[in-house]
Amino acid sequence: MVILLRHKPMKLEQLEIMKCRAGVGGAELNELDNLKLGWEGEGEMDAMIEFVIRGRNCIHLKDYRFSVNQAAGDGKIVRSSSEVQIDNVLIAGDRIFTFEVKKYNFDLIYGDEVWTYTNGEKFKNLMQQVSRQNDAFRHLLKKSGAGMEVYSCLVLISPAQTIYSLPYGKNILVHSAVGKFLERVVRDNRYSYDRLAGFLESRRVTKSMYDAPVNVEVDELRGGVFCENCYVELERLGRDCFSCPSCNEDFDLLSVIQRLIHELRILNSDWPINSLILSKYSGNQISSSYIRTQKRLGNLKY
């Protein structure tokens, strides 16, 4: 069984950081809420897949992103975007399944051409994205020589959501159907797919073309130290410890500095980082001399 970790999207992390350090507008708050829901849904789907494949000879790739140009070198696919992202790729029972996961907090009415909200307003056709993913992924697989068909599904993971007029046999899974579907299709692979997994990993895009630095300067950001889990401002417990008043987790001084470095790199990887910048970014709660000492000892890298 091969399972790879899923990393939080850069845009989600950026918005979480900016919300507590610079403030965000209504449109950005809406995007943040949508990204959080999507991240939660992907994690829920990961857990459901991993539960079913535990102990089996299967391969599970998460957040698989690849270049359309790499997939379609024969020129057969033309896309306005040159990058495709698939939430889950599962190789089980000598078949390949892909899952595009959506988590919404509202009901929808299915339509062959356009889905709608329950009030009749147009939404979009969610299966178009799944179809594009399937086309591009099949062309990528041709380059590997695997010769396997791809079964692509749309997963509407929220148990509280209702999809009205949903027809049978459309490769669309609601929450109550996901577990049954996985139990039906997940079997041990009879053959080794290590070469295929290696090929797919070699084509994985590690930095998305959509990842970009935030449109602020470091001096515009509010100083302070914030919880890496809930983004509530931490309280100083003593000389070498901070605590989160919301989730009651404690953080030692070194891990707080490492988090500050991570935040700055997420916001803009081109920003220069030194002990003075980090001290100011901490709200002057951590001295630049302490930061320099930890760097000299090899405990910090920036």
What digits encode the pLDDT tens for the residues 207-232? 888 899 999 999 999 999 999 999 99
Query: Any alpha helices (H) in the chain, and if so which ranges?
Result: 10-21, 26-53, 68-71, 126-144, 175-185, 194-202, 253-267, 275-281, 288-296
Q: Which of 3-17, 99-113, 253-267 has the lowest mean pLDDT?
A: 3-17
What confidence tier does 78 reach under pLDDT thresholds 50, 70, 90?
very low
Percent of the chain with pLDDT over 70: 94
pLDDT of residue 48: 97
Count of CB atoms situated within 10 Å of the CB of 145: 9
Identify whether 210 is part of a domain: no
Kindly state whether residues 223 and 289 are assigned to the same domain.
Answer: yes
Q: DSSP string spanning 63-75?
A: EEEEEHHHHTTTS
Distance CA 150, CA 88 (A): 12
pLDDT of residue 72: 52
Q: How many domains does the chain have?
A: 2
Q: Who's near 121: CB < 8 A, 6+ residues apart?
A: none
Q: What are the tens digits of pLDDT across the range 242-251?
A: 999 999 999 9
Kindly state whether residues 183 and 279 are assigned to the same domain.
Answer: no
Kindly state whether residues 246 and 137 are assigned to the same domain.
Answer: no
pTM of the model: 0.88
> How much is the mean pLDDT over the chain?
92
Distance CA 240, CA 233 (A): 16
What confidence tier does 4 reach under pLDDT thresholds 50, 70, 90?
low
Kindly state whether residues 191 and 231 are assigned to the same domain.
Answer: no
Distance CA 28, CA 132 (A): 27
Kindly state whether residues 30 and 178 are assigned to the same domain.
Answer: yes
Distance CA 267, CA 276 (A): 18
Kindly state whether residues 104 and 176 are assigned to the same domain.
Answer: yes
Q: Which two tokens stand for residue 246?
A: 């919301």
Kindly state whether residues 89 and 171 are assigned to the same domain.
Answer: yes
| Domain hosting residue 239, numbered range | 218-296
Identify whether 301 is part of a domain: no
Mean pLDDT, residues 157-184: 95
Kindly state whether residues 120 and 27 are assigned to the same domain.
Answer: yes
What confidence tier does 77 reach under pLDDT thresholds 50, 70, 90?
very low
Kindly state whether residues 195 and 251 are assigned to the same domain.
Answer: no
Identify whether 271 is part of a domain: yes
Q: Who's near 25: CB < 8 A, 6+ residues apart?
A: none
- CA-closest candidate to residue 96, choices 138, 144, 143: 138
Residue 42 class from Cβ within 10 Å (0-12 exposed, 13-18 middle, 19+ buried)? buried
Kindly state whether residues 229 and 192 are assigned to the same domain.
Answer: no
Dihedral of the alpha carbons of 277, 298, 260, 248, in degrees to the nearest 10: -140
Domain C-terminal end among 170, 202, 234: 202
